[in-house]
Amino acid sequence: MGKTGVTGIKRIINAAGYSWKGICSAYKHEAAFRQELWMAAALIPAGIFLGESVLDKAVLVCSVLFVLVVELLNSAIESVVDRISDEHHELAGRAKDMGSAAVLFALIITAIAWAAVLFEHPPAAF
């Protein structure tokens, strides 16, 4: 991992590298993350186009990014649980289920945000 004592711009560069490595790992190993990333690739430009105000655009884009953040955390939980043991354990199952529930709530939040913004300012095509 990282060296201790690294500060300043070098620490930021290292952190960005680890972040990119995490994104690539999630894309390679997690089907749900791939699906949500492709969904984000479509929804983020749509949110920028459909949002009437800067606030609308921010709500639409950030709600989609929120799903990716929660999915990354869920995948991290699953990886740690799987690393600890292959055996089924009630607490391991509970941790994985809770991570999955968090993703579900993130998706619901995104759907509510999009519905609210689009209901408030329906696109001309509707």
Assigned CATH topology for domain 31-120: Helix Hairpins (1.10.287)
pLDDT by 10s per residue, the chain, length 126: 555 688 899 999 999 999 999 999 999 999 999 999 999 999 999 999 999 999 999 999 999 999 999 999 999 999 999 888 888 889 989 999 999 999 999 999 999 999 999 999 888 765
pLDDT of 85 reads 82
Q: Which of 30, 71, 87, 90 is catalytic?
A: 71
Q: For 61-94, what is each residue's pLDDT tens digit?
A: 999 999 999 999 999 999 999 888 888 889 989 9
Q: Is 87 a catalytic residue?
A: no
The full DSSP string for the chain is -PPTT--HHHHHHHHHHHHHHHHHHHHHH-HHHHHHHHHHHHHHHHHHHH-SSHHHHHHHHHHHHHHHHHHHHHHHHHHHHHHH-SS--HHHHHHHHHHHHHHHHHHHHHHHHHHHHHHHS--TT-
